[in-house]
Amino acid sequence: MNIAVIGTGYVGLVSGTCFADSGNNVTCVDIDEKKVKTLREGNVPIYEPGLEAIFDRSIRENRLHFTTDMAEAVTDADIVFLCLPTPPGGDGQADLSAVMKVAGQLGGMLTDYTVIVNKSTVPVGTADRVREAIAEQADPELFDVVSNPEFLREGAAVEDFMKPERVVIGTGSERAADIMTTLYEPFVRSGNPIIVMDERSSELTKYAANAMLATKITFMNEIANICERVGANVDNVRRGIGTDSRIGKRFLFAGIGYGGSCFPKDVQAIHYTAAQNGYDFKILDSVMKVNESQKVSIVRKMEAYYGTNDFSGKTFGVWGLSFKPETDDIREAPALYVADELVKQGARLIAYDPEAIGTFKRATTQRVLDNTTFVHDQKDALEDIDALIICTEWNEFRRPTVDHFKDEMKQPVIFDGRNLYDLDRARNAGITYISVGRPSVIHEEVEEGRKV
């Protein structure tokens, strides 16, 4: 098929590249001339495992193209995917200005029947609004509008796209449903379902899925907070409940909160939609409130450990800046909040991340930049620091055993926001190790050195 993808952000670039790799002719559109030039030159502007290989192959085989001219891409397209940003406003409402602007332009570009697909995460009722906007300039017989939410995990997006657990298609049109089913059938040969439903249910499905996962994460963080108060170990609790098939093992790891481009935005958006329709979504009130406090909970542990909130004269190492491993995305990353809070309290930082240093620098405050040294080797973030803070669970942080910290750190004190290390190993390694929802390991020799 001929496919146009409007928007080359994370979802648009991954979707367009994967569709091209499966044999379609794909043209991606973006208004950013510099970005389009970069893409045409064969450079991938985001870090996503596996993406570069299929990107290169699709360009080499002339199936993936980039342009700033939307009409050029849309005129011959069988399907047009809208992969546009829908950032949250101050009240949590998703900003649809980019989606509606493009919808208003599409009508005049359609010459043959075309399926218009909302791939962006959008509020319930957006398909109706897009349909109305296009119909102002085009015969309604020339197009159908479909909701097709993405369920891509950053760090595993290519795998998720190529082997989806399910494909959700929201449309009341049999013709559009047949075209979309034909497009996705190569991706579900193992038998995973293509679920066709109405547009509004499809739109709500994406929000409901992310809100449910965010709630599950937040629940375990609450359990972790209780564990710290009663002397329990959240790892044991996780194993105890995760074997219940009704609950499952995934998204039960305690930490310093969720971040990224999806969970925070989608929780806010479904909460806003509920309020606009006269419903008080009390669970999500709590989810958002708890997650905000959880992001800086590690700073509260540091204040308790040092007995002060004045960190003047102290230098802390930070491992991990991205909101999760295997991505350079720092949107709503806990590290942003932890760094800002510590610098406010007088600390200096030495920070390392395998992929996200550049994106972190562009997103953080000038105050943090002025008080942070960024290094490109994780060992360099251990030199002459008072403690190490772990904000992201990159696999390479697991590979050094806890035994090496005592030799490489001035003060082997670790505040671990992702529970990377075994408590017994930490105890035997002679370090002070404070994590989330687990008993703290306080080593007497380290404490004596700290007092001196």
- CA distance between the termini of the chain: 71
Which pLDDT score is estimated for 399? 78
Give the span between the Cα atoms of 134 and 25, in whole angstroms.
24
* Local confidence band at 452 (pLDDT 50, 70, 90 cut-offs): very low
Which pLDDT score is estimated for 10? 93
pLDDT, mean of residues 43-63: 95
Strands (E) in 152-255, as ranges, are: 167-170, 194-197
Contact 134, 145 (CB under 8 A): yes
Angle subtended by helix axes 263-276 and 282-295, to nearest 10: 150
pLDDT, mean of residues 299-303: 97
Mean pLDDT score across all residues of the chain:
95
| Angle value at C-alpha 20, between 192 and 98, nearest 5 degrees | 90
Give the span between the Cα atoms of 103 and 308, in whole angstroms.
54
Tens-digit pLDDT profile for residues 14-38: 999 999 999 999 999 999 999 999 9
Which pLDDT score is estimated for 89? 80
Tens-digit pLDDT profile for residues 233-245: 999 999 999 999 9
CA distances for 111 relative to 5, 68, 106, 128, 147, angstroms: 17, 20, 10, 21, 22
Contact 8, 39 (CB under 8 A): yes
Residues of 78-108 as b/e, b for ≥16 C-beta within 10 angstroms? Answer: bbbbbbbbbebeeebbbebebbbebbebbbe
The closest of 15, 12, 16, 33 to 25, measured between CA atoms, is 16
Helix, coil or strand: residue 348 = strand
CA distances for 222 relative to 226, 295, 421, angstroms: 6, 13, 21
* Local confidence band at 41 (pLDDT 50, 70, 90 cut-offs): very high
Helix, coil or strand: residue 243 = coil
Which pLDDT score is estimated for 450? 63
Angle subtended by helix axes 126-135 and 97-106, to nearest 10: 30
pLDDT, mean of residues 418-447: 92
For residue 261, the one-letter residue type is S
Q: How many CA atoms lie within 13 A of 404 on its CB side?
A: 9
Helix, coil or strand: residue 415 = strand
pLDDT at 445 over 80: no
Strand partners, 190: none
Burial of 187 (0-12, 13-18, 19+ CB in 10 A): middle
Domains of the chain, with CATH numbers? 2-197 (3.40.50.720), 207-293 (1.10.1040.10), 296-451 (3.40.50.720)
Tens-digit pLDDT profile for residues 267-293: 999 999 999 999 999 999 999 999 999
Q: Is 391 a catalytic residue?
A: no
Which pLDDT score is estimated for 258? 95
Contact 315, 347 (CB under 8 A): yes
Q: Which of 28, 227, 262, 391 is catalytic?
A: 262
For residue 166, give both structure tokens: 């399910």
Give the span between the Cα atoms of 176 and 116, in whole angstroms.
9
pLDDT, mean of residues 416-445: 94
DSSP string, 50-118: THHHHHHHHHHTT-EEEES-HHHHHTT-SEEEE-----B-TTS-B--HHHHHHHHHHGGG--S-EEEEE
DSSP 134: H
Residues of 420-446 as b/e, b for ≥16 C-beta within 10 angstroms? Answer: bbebeebbebbbbbbbbbbeebebeeb
Which pLDDT score is estimated for 422? 94
Which pLDDT score is estimated for 285? 95
For residue 317, give both structure tokens: 């190492």
Share above pLDDT 90 across residues of the chain, in percent, rounded to a whole number: 92
Comparing 131-145, 399-413, 416-430, the range with the smallest average pLDDT is 399-413
CA distances for 183 relative to 2, 5, 20, 205, 305, angstroms: 11, 14, 11, 21, 56
Which pLDDT score is estimated for 106? 96
Which pLDDT score is estimated for 449? 60
Angle subtended by helix axes 282-295 and 297-306, to nearest 10: 40
Strand partners, 196: 169
